[in-house]
């Protein structure tokens, strides 16, 4: 089953559990973000990736350029372990990790979530790739991904028991647009997928096709 099919299944399963007023707020927030034009800020294929060093969930440090020197890097930005679609994506990426590795690629995930929560996400999905802590979304901002959540959406999430401020360790309520990049050895972006609608995610099969051509 493709990732997008799993996401559609998740949406069907959760549809009956979400109150109609909450659905309207969530739908409008997504529509407004799409209209904002944020996708135009995301780097294009052929441009250079922003290099960074971030803390892994286990306390070690990971530098993009050092990882890219070993082979292509699949770089995935996600919103946080509180996001059901992000959890689905991370689990799916873990299931395809060996496919990426068979093409010489490394996989790195990045979120603004504190390491203690990232560690919970890692354990939940038995993740075997780095999950990095992007303090205050500083790296995600360099990739044009960051936006501030509208207040009514924050309120809806809090009613669901989702405390984004607690997970991120600040009161900014900023999160990244989910995005995936394939970075080659000289940090050139060979593949870019970033959509304002958080339900749209890069399909691993498409990523693999890019890796096969590298």
Query: Which domains, and CATH codes, for the chain?
Result: 3-212 (3.40.30.10)
Q: Which two tokens stand for residue 80?
A: 């946080």
Buried/exposed 119-146: b ≥16 CB within 10 Å, e otherwise: bebbeebebebbbbbbeebebbbebbbb
Q: Rounded CA gap, 121 and 110, in Å?
A: 12
How many residues make up the chain in this entry?
214
**Per-residue pLDDT tens for 85-143?**
999 999 999 999 999 999 999 999 999 999 999 999 999 999 999 999 999 999 999 99
**What is the arithmetic mean of pLDDT over 46-55?**
98
Q: Is the pLDDT of residue 181 over 90?
A: yes
The band of 7, judged by pLDDT with boundaries at 50, 70 and 90, is very high
**What is the arithmetic mean of pLDDT over 132-161?**
97
The model's pTM: 0.96
Q: Is the pLDDT of residue 8 over 90?
A: yes
The band of 14, judged by pLDDT with boundaries at 50, 70 and 90, is confident
Q: Rounded CA gap, 171 and 192, in Å?
A: 30
């Amino acid at each position: 089953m493709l990732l997008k099919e799993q996401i559609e299944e998740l949406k069907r399963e959760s549809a009956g559990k979400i109150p109609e007023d909450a659905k309207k707020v969530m739908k409008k927030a997504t529509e407004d973000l799409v209209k904002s034009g944020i996708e135009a800020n995301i780097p294009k294929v052929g441009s250079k990736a922003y290099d960074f060093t971030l803390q892994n969930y286990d306390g070690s440090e990971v530098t993009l350029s050092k990882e890219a020197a070993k082979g292509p890097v699949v770089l995935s930005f996600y919103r946080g372990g509180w996001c059901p679609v992000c959890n689905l994506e991370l689990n799916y990426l873990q299931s395809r990790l060996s496919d990426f590795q068979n093409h010489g690629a490394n996989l790195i995930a990045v979120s603004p979530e504190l390491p203690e929560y990232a560690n919970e996400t890692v354990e939940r999905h038995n993740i075997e790739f780095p999950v990095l802590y992007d303090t205050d979304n500083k790296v995600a901002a360099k990739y044009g991904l960051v936006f501030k959540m509208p207040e009514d959406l924050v309120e809806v999430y809090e009613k669901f028991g989702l405390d984004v401020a607690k997970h991120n360790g600040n009161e900014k309520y900023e999160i990244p647009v989910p995005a995936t990049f394939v970075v080659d050895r000289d940090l050139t972006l060979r593949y870019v997928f970033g959509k304002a609608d958080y339900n749209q995610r890069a399909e691993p099969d498409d990523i693999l096709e890019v890796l096969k051509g590298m």
